[in-house]
Structure 1
Amino acid sequence: MMTPKENYFEDTLENNASIIKPNEGEKLELNTISITFKLTSEMSNDQLGVYEIILPPMAIGAKLHYHRFMDETFIVNKGLLTMQVGNKEYQAKPGTVAYAPRFTPHGFRNDTNETVKLTLIFNPSQKREGFFKGLYNTLSEVPIDPNKYLKLYNKYDSFPVDTSNMIPIRE
């Protein structure tokens, strides 16, 4: 009995592209912050996550935290984003790309009276959509339970630098 030989010299081409148009993707509204899933963990086999974030005036995206197993990239599309990296702050205008590799403390917020729109990229994506959905549930509770928030953070490879100042609300 003869088994078919594997062809080591020719590629098998597939059409697995995803084209996500403007205004497409699952959208979550967290208080006043909007997150739209553009390229999900499921679509990319956990390799990449691309999310559109809209931060209204004076909104905090995340306080200082880091990741152990994924890198995070920010692309500012509209407005002026305040980026905190370690103990420094930067004003990121449209066109700015900020890359925070694993173990780099970072946070971001909108300190202006204008809306900020950015693209957030995680690689690998580590099922980041579960984090955003859990964040939606956790931040919708009054009062916010810091232990539940920390458990969610840690499950999805996020580690606050200061657990006494990790909830993304202005004091």
Structure 2
Amino acid sequence: MKKTDYFNDQLESEAVIVAPEQGEKLELETISITFKVTSEISNDQLGIYEITLPPMAIGAKLHYHRFMDETFIVNEGVLTMQVGDKEMQAHPGTVAYIPRFTPHGFKNDTNETVKLSLVFNPSQKREGFFRGLYETLNEVPINPKKYLKLYNKYDSFPVDTSDMLPIRE
């Protein structure tokens, strides 16, 4: 019988390195999402996703999360962020930490592409949300009830359900 060592750490080699062009990619008409660190990799503790917004695209309208925090890291372009009732321009290098219960939204109001990293902590199996978003936003017309059901299942709550779809009117 092997004796348990209560005094020394057991080191592991479980690191995951994701190169710039690696990761599962979902292409929507208005947004591109690449999975970098997934819920499966991090035991649901962390999710890191690369988002590309083409010119004039909406990432998400004003919403909040109950069980996860979200961090935005702007890598390229100028991202328009709404936090509560304030709107601001986030330039490359900007890091915006959005704790749970903080209403927020984001979009690209420019004629240039915006690239950012989104970090969710914990991840709450966010990949399911993005896959469902891919399915829902590719339907014509978009079904608002299905969209809201997806949002709520993955810890996202629109501030105004009458203006929640990420489309420009």
Give the CA RMSD over aligned residues: 0.8
**How far apart, CA to CA, are the structure 1 residues paired with 2:77 and 2:126?**
25
**How far apart, CA to CA, are the structure 2 residues paired with 1:16 and 1:81?**
34
Query: How many pairs are equivalent?
Result: 169
Query: Is residue 88 from structure 1 mapped to residue 52 from structure 2 by the alignment?
Result: no
Of the three residues 125, 131, 134, the one matched with 1:133 is: 131
**How far apart, CA to CA, are the structure 2 residues paired with 1:31 and 1:157?**
24
Q: TM-score with structure 1 length normalisation? A: 0.97
What is the CA-CA distance between 1:30 and the residue it aligns to? 1.3
The aligned amino acid for 1:87 is D
SS in 2 for 1:43: helix
**How far apart, CA to CA, are the structure 2 residues paired with 1:137 and 1:27?**
14
Q: How does 1:27-38 map to 2 (within 5 A)?
A: 27-38=25-36
SS in 1 for 2:21: coil
The aligned amino acid for 1:39 is V
**What fraction of aligned residue pairs are identical, expressed as a percent?**
80
Q: How does 1:17-166 map to 2 (within 5 A)?
A: 17-166=15-164
What is the CA-CA distance between 1:4 and the residue it aligns to? 4.2
Give ranges in structure 1 of 5+ residues lacking alignment.
none
**How far apart, CA to CA, are the structure 2 residues paired with 1:30 and 1:101?**
27
**How far apart, CA to CA, are the structure 1 residues paired with 2:95 and 2:20?**
20
**How far apart, CA to CA, are the structure 2 residues paired with 1:167 and 1:146?**
7
Give ranges in structure 2 of 5+ residues lacking alignment.
none
Q: TM-score with structure 2 length normalisation? A: 0.98
Runs of 4+ in 1 over 4 A off after TM superposition: none
SS in 2 for 1:148: helix
